[in-house]
Amino acid sequence: MTTATWATMSVRPEPVEPRAPNTAPLRFAGYAALFDVADAAGDVIRKGAFSRTLAERAELPLLWQHDPARRIGRIETLTEDERGLRVIARIESAGRAGAELLRRAVSGLSFGYRARQYRRLPKGRLLEDIELFEVSLVTHPLQHGARVHLIGQRSSPARGGGSPQG
């Protein structure tokens, strides 16, 4: 039997009751980038900008606040859809990142990248081909709408672990 607890992120988060310590991985889904929406630097990502890097890279790290010394988990699924770059990730162990996410003190997503192809815009760039290096859980994403929207804490496999999709 699948067991998962989900919370939906909102603009005005409601308090979440603290959970007892759990060694089960914490999983979440969200968007690390939104297409055709300018970020705070004025850059706009075109749909398809991630397709080359997604075909080339087998795995990307999940970092805390873009700090390469603080790998907090792994990306399970990374895909482009009509809205943007959709992420399903797992925080591997209990710690600050998981606690902050459960408290909704942090809900931003971001990514480290190099722009392989872009065009200048009056207030930024149109990013057409992006090489991804990492995805990060962050306090203040450069693109305001890049957020976690589902959080799930799975039971351990021995107890009939669940899936964020089901």
Give the domain ranges of the chain: 24-154
Contacts of 140 (CB under 8 A, 6+ apart): 108
What homologous superfamily does CATH list for 24-154?
Herpesvirus/Caudovirus protease domain (3.20.16.10)
- Grouping H, G, I as helix, E, B as strand and the rest as coil, residue 54 is helix
> So what's the pLDDT on residue 154?
58
Global confidence as pTM:
0.77
From the list 156, 22, 161, 26, the residue with the least C-alpha distance to 98 is 26
Interval 137-149: pLDDT, tens: 999 999 999 999 9
